[in-house]
A and B are shown apart, each in its own frame.
Chain A
């Protein structure tokens, strides 16, 4: 029973390039969350998606960042024109129904993005 799968595990980009991070939720889960962990900090919520819908993007930077969760395939977090400050670990979590106390989010192992 596979957990939340994120790829790549490590991604290196040069300033100005695009980064695409993928997340496949656990089987049967239709809700995906993206979090960002900056060095020496806790995780910060970015965006919450259901299939084909963005439910809450209150934590997404206003520019360069976008996320999608298509009907088929993984969720994608896309960062355009990356800058050094985008270097972080990006974690995806999934849940079968909207989270609440009975359905804690399950996390993937993250994608570590490094910007040269």
Chain B
């Protein structure tokens, strides 16, 4: 069975600092990975996805993620965060007719 682990439940960071949100997956088959963002009282919005090809994936709002097969990781990064990036971030793997989500990482950006 596929699974996703997000080790950090909360990540506090100051505005304009870089950030990395960690995600590790477990899968015995070809894997398709996603990062979603959830703003308060809203649904999930797709940030980026890894399908195949280049291991560095660029998404919306300046986010990017790197697929690392040997480390089974798909960490999300942003070089300089804004206050508006404060939200919950979920890593997910396609299974294939449903999404398996991690428990989420709450990014809190302080001025």
Interface set of A (CB-CB < 8 Å, partner B): 4, 6, 33, 35, 41-45, 48, 55-56, 59, 91, 93, 98-102, 104-110, 112
Q: What number of B residues sit within 8 Å (CB to CB) of A?
A: 25
**CB atoms of B43 and A101 under 8 A apart:** no
Provide 26 A-B residue pairs closer than 8 Å at the C-beta atoms, listed in order of the A residue.
Answer: A6-B43, A35-B101, A42-B6, A42-B102, A42-B103, A43-B101, A45-B95, A45-B98, A45-B99, A45-B100, A56-B98, A93-B44, A98-B96, A99-B94, A99-B96, A99-B98, A100-B96, A101-B32, A101-B51, A102-B51, A106-B46, A107-B44, A107-B45, A109-B41, A109-B43, A110-B41
Contact of A33 among B98, B102, B103 (CB under 8 A): B98
Evaluate whether A55 and B97 lie within 8 angstroms (CB atoms) in the complex, with A41-B103, A42-B104, A101-B49 already known: yes
Q: How far is the CB of A94 from chain B (nearest CB, A)?
A: 11
Q: What's the A-B contact tally at a CB cutoff of 8 Å?
A: 66
Q: With a CB–CB cut-off of 8 A, which chain A residues contact B71?
A: none
Contacts from B to A (Cβ < 8 Å): 6, 32, 34, 36, 41-46, 49, 51-52, 90, 94-104
- Residues from chain B with Cβ under 8 Å of A108 in the complex: 43
- Write the nearest CB–CB distance from B41 to chain A, whole angstroms: 7
Tell me which residues across on chain B come within 8 A of A100, comparing CB atoms.
Answer: 32, 94, 96
Contact B90 A59 (CB under 8 A): no
A44, B101: Cβ atoms closer than 8 Å: yes
- B residues less than 8 Å from A109 (CB atoms): 41-43
- B104 nearest CB neighbor, chain A only: A42
Report the Cα distance A110→B41, complex, angstroms: 8
Chain A residues, CB < 8 A from B34: 104
